[in-house]
Amino acid sequence: MRRMKTGEAPPPPGPVLAPFADPTAPSAVRTSRMAPFMVHPMQRLWREPLMHFLLLGAVLFAVPHYVPPAREAAPSSQQIQLSLDELAQLALFFQSQWRREPTPEEFNRLVESKVQEEILYREALAMGLDKDDTIVKRRMAQKMQFLAEDVAAAREPTTAELKSWYEQNSALFEQPSRVSFRHLYFSPDRRGDRARDDAAQALTQLAGQPQDTPLAGALADPFMFQDYYPERAPESLGKEFGPQFAQAVAQLPPGSWQGPIASGFGWHLVYVDTLIPGRVPVFEEFEPDVKTAWLGEQKAQAWQKAYADMRAKYTVLLPAPPEPASARAPAPDARKEVPMSSKGDPR
């Protein structure tokens, strides 16, 4: 810029370029009076906070799609890592057996036993010992069944559901009749063929007598088990004396001596003390048992459905049945008769 001489008139104002403008563009030329007040539209847009927010959001959205995630390092097959829960289970198992906490030496042995089990398991897998092993297959099949059953057990039934199920399955909880009785035993080993006749004769002497009459001990033989059986169900009596004896006792009227009745031991005179008829209990009496039975049914249904779904994915190929021996045997070849000469030699 040159200096102005004294008395020299200033030059006329020329065109002024707007800040950040392209000097070659026609729009970049502005008058000196308008230049301080002109801002490019893109500059104003870039200065807006909303634009900064949108750009930051776009970057955060685009980075995960173009930058591959870092791969986690796979655990080494030579490392055995025990969690705190596993260590706590070892200590609890020891306490359940010995009713005390393990000492440091005992706990170290528990840990080493756990490590040994894991090492042997991994080495067995590396050697392929799990292949074609019936026990391993059976155990894995059981675990699959347990998983299917646990799905059903995870849901807690409501009281209304249990009551509705109980009404449909109340026969499962029916209480059988129970009988309390005293008996006199007549042994075939001691009396032989006279055992039944002796029992019938003793019955006439006991007519109208109470169950604890002193005559009972003098008339009967000693019995190896009980003389009095309180509140026994027919099933229980059938196991001890035989089903025919249990059925006959259940039909006797209480309050008098009855018989003779045969059992697997011999002959008996029976005095029924009390007879409690069978009944179906109300739901509240057996609610815990009803819940257990309901869960058992739900587990069975869940397992059947799970197996049906798995079975549908497979096709089973079986070998063809072997052919009968008659079909495999070749038919004998037809033979021609060779005429014999008079000397017996073939011609």
CA angle 130, 134, 136 (to 5 degrees): 45
Q: What is the pLDDT of residue 34?
A: 44
- Asked whether the beta carbons of 264 and 242 are under 8 A apart, the reply is yes
Secondary structure of residue 105 in the 3-state scheme: helix
- Asked whether the beta carbons of 190 and 222 are under 8 A apart, the reply is no
pTM beyond cutoff 0.85: no
- The tens-digit pLDDT sequence of the chain (347 residues) is 445 444 555 555 544 444 444 444 444 444 444 444 454 555 666 666 666 656 666 655 555 555 555 444 445 568 999 999 999 999 999 999 999 999 999 999 999 999 999 999 999 999 998 888 899 999 999 999 998 888 777 788 899 999 999 999 998 998 899 999 999 999 999 999 999 999 999 999 998 899 888 888 789 999 999 999 999 999 999 999 999 999 999 999 999 999 999 999 999 999 999 999 988 899 998 899 999 999 999 999 999 999 999 999 999 998 988 887 766 656 555 555 545 554 545 45
Q: What are phi and psi of 232, to 5 degrees?
A: -105, 135
Q: What are phi and psi of 226, to 5 degrees?
A: -85, 155
Paired residues of 184 in beta bridges? 269
Q: What is the pLDDT of residue 199?
A: 94
Q: What is the pLDDT of residue 312?
A: 94
Q: What is the pLDDT of residue 22?
A: 46
- Distance CA(328)–CA(321), nearest Å, equals 13
Q: What is the pLDDT of residue 78?
A: 84
- Distance CA(28)–CA(15), nearest Å, equals 10
Question: pLDDT tens for residues 118-129?
Answer: 999 999 999 998
- Distance CA(172)–CA(293), nearest Å, equals 9
- Distance CA(255)–CA(59), nearest Å, equals 97
Contacts of 28 (CB under 8 A, 6+ apart): 17, 18, 21, 22
